[in-house]
Amino acid sequence: MPIYEYRCNSCKKKLALLILSRSDQPLCNHCGSSDLTRLFSRFAAPKSEEARLESMADPGKWGDIDEGDPASMARFMKKMGKEFGDELGEDFEQEMESSAEEAAHGDHAAGETSPPEI
C-alpha cells in the first residue's frame, strides 16, 4: 500500500499518509489543511550477506571500540545488530546501559567488567 510523506505548509509538521486512490485529497492530521507538499521518502536497499561482511571488514568502521569500556561495547553490539538486521531487545540495551553506569561510577574493580547475563 502506498504510504507517502508530506510536509504541511500551514503548520510545518511532517506526516505520513496512506493514499488508497489518486482521487483522495490528503489532509494534515494536525491542523486539517490540504496545503501539503509531498516529500521524497527514504527507501531501503537490501544488502547481500557478502556486502554486509565486506562493510564490516573496513577497519575504519571499528576503530573507536574499547573492549574495556562497556559503553563502547554496547555501541559495537548495536552496530553489529543493525548491520545484520537483528533486534537486540530492550533487556539487552538496559543491561548494557546499567553496566556502563556501574563502570563509570567505579562499581567494578579497575579493568574488570562482568558481561551481562542473557
Burial tier of 36 (Cβ tally within 10 Å: 0-12, 13-18, 19+)? buried
Q: Compare 11 and 77 and report the one with higher pLDDT.
A: 11
pLDDT one-digit tens code per residue, 44-100: 677 777 877 777 777 776 677 777 877 777 777 777 777 666 656 667 667 766 766
Kindly state whether residue 13 falls inside one of the protein's structural domains. Answer: yes
Work out how many domains the chain is built from and give that number. Answer: 2
Query: pTM for the full model?
Result: 0.36
Kindly state whether residue 74 falls inside one of the protein's structural domains. Answer: yes
Same domain, 32 and 73: no
Give the structural domain span for 55.
49-104
pLDDT one-digit tens code per residue, 17-58: 887 877 778 899 899 999 999 988 766 677 777 877 777 777
